[in-house]
């Protein structure tokens, strides 16, 4: 069964001001329980803010390091999930359900990509 990576993209600066509504934690917990019981969720986690990150860049045969935060970047990966689904349509359905748990005032993007099993 194919695996998919779901990358949760957020505007980190705007997200700092987002407050979840009273039912958010319960809705998210119920969805995570359902997706886990279905055997779809293999792994998930949120990521620390970019202020705690370092980018390593290779160019011209040299390495360079840049410590966060990365203010020039509007959208960053704020979390991820690895899903095992029968096909991409099923992975997209879970992504749809995940996004709909969030309050309407939030802006969250979920990028769904197949894991290349030849290299992964």
In tens, the pLDDT along 12-69 reads: 888 777 888 899 999 999 999 999 999 999 999 999 999 999 999 999 999 999 999 8
Q: Is the pTM of this model over 0.75?
A: yes
Higher-confidence position of 117 and 40: 40
Rounded-to-integer distance, Cα 109 and Cα 11, Å: 9
Which CATH code is given to the segment(s) 3-114? 3.30.70.1060
Long-range contacts of 42-46 (CB under 8 A, 24+ apart): 42/3, 42/82, 42/83, 42/84, 43/81, 43/82, 44/79, 44/80, 44/81, 44/82, 45/79, 45/80, 46/8, 46/78, 46/79
Res 77: pLDDT: 93
| Residue ranges of domains in the chain | 3-114
């Amino acid at each position: 069964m194919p695996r998919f990576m779901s990358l949760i993209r957020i505007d980190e600066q705007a997200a700092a001001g987002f407050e979840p509504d009273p039912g958010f934690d319960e809705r998210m917990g119920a969805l995570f329980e359902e997706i886990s019981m279905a055997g779809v969720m293999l792994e998930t986690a949120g990521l620390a803010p970019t202020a705690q990150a370092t980018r390593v860049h290779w160019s011209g045969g040299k390495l360079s390091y840049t410590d966060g935060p990365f203010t020039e970047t509007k959208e960053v990966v704020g979390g991820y999930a690895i899903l095992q689904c029968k096909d991409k349509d099923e992975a997209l359905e879970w992504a749809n359900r995940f996004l709909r748990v969030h309050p309407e005032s939030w802006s969250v993007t979920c990028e769904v990509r197949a894991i290349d099993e030849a290299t992964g």
